[in-house]
Chains A and B, each alone.
Chain A
Amino acid sequence: MAVCIAVIAKENYPLYIRSTPTENELKFHYMVHTSLDVVDEKISAMAKALVDQRELYLDLLYPTEDYKVYGYVTNSKVKFVMVVDSSNTALRDNEIRSMFRKLHNSYTDVMCNPFYNPGDRIQSRWALLPVSASSPGGPYFLCPHPVQVGPAFCVLLPSLCRTCLAILVAKMQPFGK
């Protein structure tokens, strides 16, 4: 389980940043922000490589005394940063990779959400956090609305929260009539 997850826009401003020990949120913000130095450096080194061979996973960015910071960059230069407790030996490279892949899927879901405007900050308090190696795969409910209750129950539109769903239903009514 990661202690902090961040999605950073192409322009390097945070789209989403959430940490589990909420009391020292600022520390994680700084940690994620400073890790962008390494991300930038890795991306610029990567730009020279061929497009096909490009690896999205950026590996360990840098270790600190207590945490390990991992990075991942999508093709559209959106960066994912994950902070993991150093003492957590259960998380190896493979687990981290799969967590990033899940996070990427969740992010894609957010982008697919018709109510989300690319580049806006993702405001859901809830989103993305259940990312861990052990958590069952499946949809992560991401939407621009702060989610009040758990996941939406709609099977067809798994990436929508209730608010989104309600709006969508309201919009669809005229077509029904």
Chain B
Amino acid sequence: MSPTQWDLPVELCCRPMAFVTLTGLDVVYNAVHRAVWDAFCANRRADRVPISFKVLPGDHEYPKCRPKRTSYEWYIPKGILKTGWMNKHLNLVPALVVVFYELDWDEPQWKEKQSECATRVEIVRQSLQGRNTKVAVVLIQKKTPLPPGEDVIASERAAALCNACELSGKSLFVLPHTDHLVGYIIRLENAFYEHAQTYYYTEIRRVKSHKEFLNKTTHQLLFVRHQFKIAFFSELKQDTQNALKNYRTAYNLVHELRAHETNILEIKTMAGFINYKICRLCFQHNTPLDAIAQFRKHIDLCKKKIGSAELSFEHAAWMSKQFQAFGDLFDEAIKLGLTAIQTQNPGFYYQQAAYYAQERKQLAKSLCNHEASIMYPNPDPLETQTGVLDFYGQRSWRQGILSFDLSDPEKEKVGVLAIQLKERNVAHSEIIITLLSNAVAQFKKYKCPRMKSHLMVQMGEEYYYAKDYTKALKLLDYVMCDYRSEGWWTLLTSILTTALKCSYLMAQLKDYITYSLELLGRASTLKDDQKSRIEKNLINVLMNESPDPEPDCDIFAVKTAQKLWADRISLAGSNIFTIGVQDFVPFVQCKAKFHAPSFHVDVPVEFDIYLKADCPHPIRFSKLCVSFNNQEYNQFCVIEEASKANEVLENPTQGKMCLVPGKTRKLLFKFVAKTEDVGKKIEITSVDLALGNETGRCVVLNWQGGGGDAASSQEALQAARSFKRRPKLPDNEVHWDSIIIQASTMIISRVPNISVHLRHEPPALTNEMYCLVVTVQSHEKTQIRDVKLTAGLKPGQDANLTQKTHVTLHGTELCDESYPALLTDIPVGDLHPGEQLEKMLYVRCGTVGSRMFLVYVSYLINITAEEKEIVCKCHKDETVTIETVFPFDVAVKFVSTKFEHLERVYADIPFLLMTDLLSASPWALTVVSSELQLAPSMTTVDQLESQVDNVVLQTGESASECFCLRCPSLGNVEGGVATGHYIISWKRTSAMENIPVIRTVITLPHVIVENIPLHVNADLPSFGRVRESLPVKYHLQNKTDFVQDVEISVEPSDAFMFSGLKQIRLRILPGTEQEMLYNFYPLMAGYQQLPSLNINLLRFPNFTNQLLRRFIPTSIFVKVKLKNFLLFKFKVLKTNRLLFHVHFTEQYFETNSDSFAFYSMYLAVLLFISIKLLFIESNFKDLYFLR
């Protein structure tokens, strides 16, 4: 963009730097000079002093200095600031002129050279006549100078040169052309900078000196001018603090000027300049708040200074520029490290600039609407002789005229007309869009998404005004979804309206339809008449006709648009548009709802599609189709009506294809699910509703899933939250809000109509072939086929159970590890209605615990659903938990031959192994046989035949066996000696014949075997009789390899008399035995202690009598002779006073003896007597009592 009238001048916006000119350098042909110049101008970073250099020829003409005014008394200024002044001091009038001259101190022709140099200096001085500009000389030398003071010739000649050139010593420099050029140059620069500062200081003093001559009435403008100049020179001097102070004063002075319509532009322009400088310096000083405050003040002061009403757009343009310039300054400061915040960032200023630019456009539109016949005035009043204005902000046709009266109204009019006509050609939209996009960029940076959207809407609208509809649509479309998602319907409607216009003017069919759909919908806040119009247009478009133009469109644009529409209509093809509704809010709402969350496969799947239109007039759709995740069902769910194109409008309220506004339309669909889909989910993936038809244009609204658009989720939430009672509606109608989308359903298998029973006798016993009888009975009406049985351990239980459970169909053989835990798909055959079948399963459980068993029966059946024959697979399963228990407990113990408990057995001495089988089963068990398998270390004393063959044990009963064993001496075995195994073969008593017998092997415990030196066993009868001889023989065996000395003694006992050796000492040879014979004579009846045998081994003191007692009996039962016994008994009875009875019985018993019959008779009589005695006794008691 070329700079316009409103852009700030470049010299204002740049950073003022001291201006120094370099003469005497031939940068084109002289390599040394070129290098010097490059060192000056190249690589000027911030650390270098701020000087702008320029190479000029030595005889350059500098701007002439005006003759000094001696008095201001008659001087009337013509304006505030000359347009050329800033440029003059930045680029034309140097602060310092440097004369470069090649001269070495040892130059042979010194005199000549010295005078030539002097001449050059003189020429420069001539051209600077009247200026305070300093002059300096730099001698370019080939040799490195000696340290100061050492070179006598040099100091002499330097002094001479200074004299010749009329220079002070400070203004003469030497530049040796050696390696360290840049270093020398930097030192030179710093020296130049000092000179320049002195120059500007004197300039400031010079301007200040004018002040005292000024008076307030006529020189008001000069006050501003001088203040500005002081500030500007301060800036050149790099004294920014003073510059800022002076600019502030200048700013206040500007506003003190008398403002009038004729000079208001000049005042505003200057105020703008000074404000710019102040803000810039404030940002530079890192006081952004000062800058903002100054700018606010500036705007507040100038906002109302509109000036001429005919040119009010100029004010808007100026305002816009102020904001833009400030925004630029702000942005620049941010780039240099300032941090901005969300509520204070350049974006706001750009936005405001855009706002004023829009206002400018509006004003220009109303003020510059001249008829085309009005020509641009000739001669051009805006032309000046020099092409530029003399003073900033003045009118070209009355420059320098300070009078507030318009001397030439005609000229004024022409001037205003020229400006207005020029304004008409300004591309306002372009300016606005640039500003807006600047603002957008800023707001994006400062987290203001909504502000950004708003500005983008404005941009879109501006593009619309600029007739760039494509860009407008792109922008509007981009932001639309933000407003939609946040539910700002008013704003959305306004944006949509603009977008609709754009799409109309471009004849963009799809966009036009989409926007129409949404503007008719519930999100639109348009009035009904507007909606009617849009609906009519939409129907027109669907019937392949042109829509009516949108209101408030440019007439010319409408004409082109109509042509475009006509072209569209004649074009064939691509007349079907599919529009996904999930991103917007169309005027038709859709909800799909399955009747149930699951359907049996033999029942038709039913669902409803609810449709509701929000447009003002009824609308007819042509087709509705529903798509499923299984596409095979799509064909069943289509509603189509073959109708002519023009029928969209006819008969509007008839038929189910017609949507009446506000009414909910329900459409029922039904189909039979495929049997393959059993266990799967049927999902509605999309619903397509076609408006219009193929002959005209067709719009397919596509709802993803079971309906719902951009706004419906929020509405559903709101409806769910609502506790409003809805008024009653007729039966066939429903409230839209109460419909909840259900877009998927499960297909589940048909309900089986068979019964499965399990018959068994729990609990199961470990390792037995447990019988499970499965009974399947069909209750179906027709034959069922392919009945299959899956039975066994229910999967998903402990993995160990799987290994310890085996299932088989054949009970006659025992299962082993190879049998599976679950038998799958055992074909059973077909079943007629009512038929029943039984299947026996045998389960073998190796461990105790509970297990879940599954019996799963599946079958096929032919079913007619909705006049369709389908084959349904049904299944029924039964689960049963079966506990497994041990059938019996086996206890084993070792006892001595005296049945005394043994902790250890003695080598070579017989002992008894007792097994005790205790039934734990609730069912009767049959012990088929038992077997004792002895370990090789054990030998049996007698036959090992089973004593419990075919014993039936009820619960809690036990079966015991006893085996006499002997363990040969083995020496000392650690941990005892293995005994062997006890094997029990058993089955349930109730089990059938062919069920195999289960062998349960029980490992017998180990036993500790100990050697003893002497073994004693006694040989005596099982009982004795009172006063009858009782022979007892003791066998003493020496089990050692030594000769044993044995002391034997028998202690007397009260119950016995005895004969034999009472005390003896004898010797027993190894491996031999000694017999001791005694004859006992019992004296008392009953269980009597035998006279105890004490044996003392001299070699083995720990062989005690205690140990001995284990082997020999210590007591014996002594019976009485019957006659003696009875006599004894009657003695007892006699004491009970009933002598006559006793005598009688005594008599009786004496006669018969020794027979069992007699004995039992005796018992009976004894009983009789006892009763009798009691009876009599009681009588006596009574008698005694009566007395």
Q: Which of B539-590 contact A (CB under 8 A)?
A: none
When each residue 447-467 of chain B gets 1 if its CB lies under 8 Å from chain A and 0 otherwise, what string results? 111110010010000000000
When each residue 29-49 of chain A gets 1 if its CB lies under 8 Å from chain B and 0 otherwise, what string results? 110011011100100000000
The reply to whether A119 and B721 form a contact with Cβ atoms under 8 Å apart is: yes
Q: Does A95 contact B (CB under 8 A)?
A: no
Q: Does A105 contact B (CB under 8 A)?
A: no
Closest-CB distance, A27 to chain B (whole angstroms):
10
Known contacts A29-B490, A62-B343; decide if A37 and B352 are in contact (CB<8 Å): no
Q: Given the complex, which residues of A lie within 8 Å of B342, measured CB to CB? A: 37-38, 41
Checking B449, B454, B487, B714 against A30 with a beta-carbon cut-off of 8 angstroms, the contacting residue is: B454
The reply to whether B447 and A41 form a contact with Cβ atoms under 8 Å apart is: yes
With A and B bound together, what is the CA distance between A176 and B769 in angstroms?
A: 79
Q: Does A61 contact B (CB under 8 A)?
A: yes
Checking B448, B450, B722 against A117 with a beta-carbon cut-off of 8 angstroms, the contacting residue is: B722
The reply to whether B721 and A117 form a contact with Cβ atoms under 8 Å apart is: yes
The reply to whether B714 and A11 form a contact with Cβ atoms under 8 Å apart is: yes
Q: Does A13 contact B (CB under 8 A)?
A: yes
The reply to whether A33 and B718 form a contact with Cβ atoms under 8 Å apart is: no
Q: Does B1097 contact A (CB under 8 A)?
A: no
With A and B bound together, what is the CA distance between A81 and B1039 in angstroms?
A: 117
Q: Does B724 contact A (CB under 8 A)?
A: yes
Q: Given the complex, which residues of A lie within 8 Å of B451, measured CB to CB? A: 34, 37
The reply to whether A34 and B487 form a contact with Cβ atoms under 8 Å apart is: no
Checking B343, B352, B494, B721 against A118 with a beta-carbon cut-off of 8 angstroms, the contacting residue is: B721
When each residue 286-320 of chain B gets 1 if its CB lies under 8 Å from chain A and 0 otherwise, what string results? 00000000000001000000000000000000000
Which among A62, A65, A115, A118 has the highest number of chain B CB atoms within 10 Å?
A65
Checking A26, A30, A62, A120 against B718 with a beta-carbon cut-off of 8 angstroms, the contacting residue is: A120
Q: Given the complex, which residues of A lie within 8 Å of B723, measured CB to CB? A: 117
Checking A14, A17, A25, A37 against B449 with a beta-carbon cut-off of 8 angstroms, the contacting residue is: A37
Q: Does B408 contact A (CB under 8 A)?
A: no
Closest-CB distance, A64 to chain B (whole angstroms):
8
Q: Given the complex, which residues of B lie within 8 Å of A61, measured CB to CB? A: 343
Q: Given the complex, which residues of B lie within 8 Å of A13, measured CB to CB? A: 486-488, 714
Q: Which A residue's beta carbon lies closest to that of B443?
A: A37
Checking B299, B348, B491 against A33 with a beta-carbon cut-off of 8 angstroms, the contacting residue is: B491
Which among B483, B490, B722 has the highest number of chain A CB atoms within 10 Å?
B490
Q: Which of B705-724 contact A (CB under 8 A)?
A: 714, 717-718, 721-724
Q: Given the complex, which residues of A lie within 8 Å of B488, measured CB to CB? A: 13-14, 29, 33
Checking B352, B450, B490, B724 against A36 with a beta-carbon cut-off of 8 angstroms, the contacting residue is: B450
Known contacts A37-B449, A62-B343, A119-B721; decide if A30 and B352 are in contact (CB<8 Å): no
With A and B bound together, what is the CA distance between A64 and B451 in angstroms?
A: 12
Which among A12, A33, A61 has the highest number of chain B CB atoms within 10 Å?
A33
Closest-CB distance, A92 to chain B (whole angstroms):
18
Q: Which of B428-455 contact A (CB under 8 A)?
A: 447-451, 454
Dominant SS at the A interface?
A: mixed
Q: Given the complex, which residues of B lie within 8 Å of A11, measured CB to CB? A: 486-487, 714
Checking A29, A117, A118, A119 against B491 with a beta-carbon cut-off of 8 angstroms, the contacting residue is: A29
Q: Given the complex, which residues of A lie within 8 Å of B449, measured CB to CB? A: 37
Q: Does B355 contact A (CB under 8 A)?
A: yes
With A and B bound together, what is the CA distance between A25 and B491 in angstroms?
A: 10
Q: A interface, how many residues as a size bin? A: 20 to 34
With A and B bound together, what is the CA distance between A62 and B483 in angstroms?
A: 21
When each residue 13-28 of chain A gets 1 if its CB lies under 8 Å from chain B and 0 otherwise, what string results? 1100100000001100
The reply to whether A65 and B352 form a contact with Cβ atoms under 8 Å apart is: yes
With A and B bound together, what is the CA distance between A70 and B487 in angstroms?
A: 22
Q: Given the complex, which residues of B lie within 8 Å of A14, measured CB to CB? A: 487-488, 490
Closest-CB distance, A65 to chain B (whole angstroms):
6
The reply to whether A117 and B454 form a contact with Cβ atoms under 8 Å apart is: no
The reply to whether A26 and B343 form a contact with Cβ atoms under 8 Å apart is: no
Q: Given the complex, which residues of B lie within 8 Å of A29, measured CB to CB? A: 488, 490-491
With A and B bound together, what is the CA distance between A11 and B485 in angstroms?
A: 10
With A and B bound together, what is the CA distance between A62 and B723 in angstroms?
A: 39
Q: Given the complex, which residues of A lie within 8 Å of B721, measured CB to CB? A: 117-119
Q: Given the complex, which residues of A lie within 8 Å of B483, measured CB to CB? A: 33
When each residue 113-126 of chain A gets 1 if its CB lies under 8 Å from chain B and 0 otherwise, what string results? 00101111000000
Q: Which B residue's beta carbon lies closest to that of A118?
A: B721
Closest-CB distance, B661 to chain A (whole angstroms):
20
Q: Which A residue's beta carbon lies closest to that of B491?
A: A29
The reply to whether B722 and A33 form a contact with Cβ atoms under 8 Å apart is: no
Q: Which B residue's beta carbon lies closest to that of A65?
A: B352
When each residue 334-358 of chain B gets 1 if its CB lies under 8 Å from chain A and 0 otherwise, what string results? 0000000011000010001001000
With A and B bound together, what is the CA distance between A62 and B345 in angstroms?
A: 11
With A and B bound together, what is the CA distance between A115 and B724 in angstroms?
A: 8
With A and B bound together, what is the CA distance between A29 and B408 in angstroms?
A: 49
The reply to whether A34 and B448 form a contact with Cβ atoms under 8 Å apart is: yes
Q: Which B residue's beta carbon lies closest to that of A15?
A: B487
With A and B bound together, what is the CA distance between A74 and B740 in angstroms?
A: 32
Q: Which of B945-980 contact A (CB under 8 A)?
A: none
With A and B bound together, what is the CA distance between A13 and B487 in angstroms?
A: 5
Q: Given the complex, which residues of A lie within 8 Å of B454, measured CB to CB? A: 30, 33-34
Known contacts A34-B450, A37-B447, A38-B342; decide if A117 and B487 are in contact (CB<8 Å): no
Q: Which A residue's beta carbon lies closest to that of B482?
A: A33
The reply to whether B447 and A119 form a contact with Cβ atoms under 8 Å apart is: no
Q: Given the complex, which residues of B lie within 8 Å of A64, measured CB to CB? A: 348, 352
With A and B bound together, what is the CA distance between A173 and B723 in angstroms?
A: 21
With A and B bound together, what is the CA distance between A62 and B487 in angstroms?
A: 23
Checking B343, B491, B714, B722 against A38 with a beta-carbon cut-off of 8 angstroms, the contacting residue is: B343
Q: Given the complex, which residues of B lie within 8 Å of A26, measured CB to CB? A: 490-491, 494
Closest-CB distance, B234 to chain A (whole angstroms):
33
Known contacts A34-B448, A37-B451; decide if A65 and B355 are in contact (CB<8 Å): yes
Closest-CB distance, B441 to chain A (whole angstroms):
15
Q: Given the complex, which residues of A lie within 8 Å of B343, measured CB to CB? A: 38, 61-62
Q: Given the complex, which residues of B lie within 8 Å of A41, measured CB to CB? A: 342, 447
Q: Which A residue's beta carbon lies closest to that of B342?
A: A41
Closest-CB distance, A120 to chain B (whole angstroms):
7
Closest-CB distance, A109 to chain B (whole angstroms):
18
Q: Given the complex, which residues of B lie within 8 Å of A119, measured CB to CB? A: 717-718, 721
Closest-CB distance, A132 to chain B (whole angstroms):
24
Q: Given the complex, which residues of B lie within 8 Å of A117, measured CB to CB? A: 718, 721-724
With A and B bound together, what is the CA distance between A37 and B452 in angstroms?
A: 10
With A and B bound together, what is the CA distance between A34 and B440 in angstroms?
A: 13
With A and B bound together, what is the CA distance between A36 and B721 in angstroms?
A: 25
Q: Which B residue's beta carbon lies closest to that of A14?
A: B488
The reply to whether A33 and B450 form a contact with Cβ atoms under 8 Å apart is: yes
With A and B bound together, what is the CA distance between A61 and B491 in angstroms?
A: 21
With A and B bound together, what is the CA distance between A142 and B487 in angstroms?
A: 22
Closest-CB distance, B317 to chain A (whole angstroms):
16
Q: Given the complex, which residues of B lie within 8 Å of A30, measured CB to CB? A: 454, 457, 491
With A and B bound together, what is the CA distance between A33 and B723 in angstroms?
A: 29
Q: Given the complex, which residues of B lie within 8 Å of A120, measured CB to CB? A: 718, 722
Closest-CB distance, B158 to chain A (whole angstroms):
65
Known contacts A117-B718, A117-B724; decide if A37 and B490 are in contact (CB<8 Å): no
Q: Which B residue's beta carbon lies closest to that of A117?
A: B722
Closest-CB distance, B652 to chain A (whole angstroms):
30
Closest-CB distance, B330 to chain A (whole angstroms):
15
Q: Given the complex, which residues of A lie within 8 Å of B494, measured CB to CB? A: 26
Closest-CB distance, A174 to chain B (whole angstroms):
14
With A and B bound together, what is the CA distance between A61 and B451 in angstroms?
A: 13
Q: Given the complex, which residues of B lie within 8 Å of A62, measured CB to CB? A: 343, 348
Q: Which A residue's beta carbon lies closest to that of B356?
A: A65
Q: Which B residue's beta carbon lies closest to that of A37?
A: B448
Further 12 A-B residue pairs, CB within 8 A, beyond A13-B714, A30-B491: A13-B486, A13-B488, A14-B490, A26-B490, A26-B491, A34-B451, A34-B454, A37-B447, A41-B447, A61-B343, A119-B721, A120-B718
> Can you list 6 A-B pairs, Cβ within 8 angstroms, ordered by A?
A14-B488, A33-B454, A34-B451, A65-B299, A65-B355, A120-B718
Give 7 closest A-B pairs by Cβ, nearest first: A13-B487, A37-B448, A34-B451, A62-B343, A117-B722, A34-B450, A37-B450
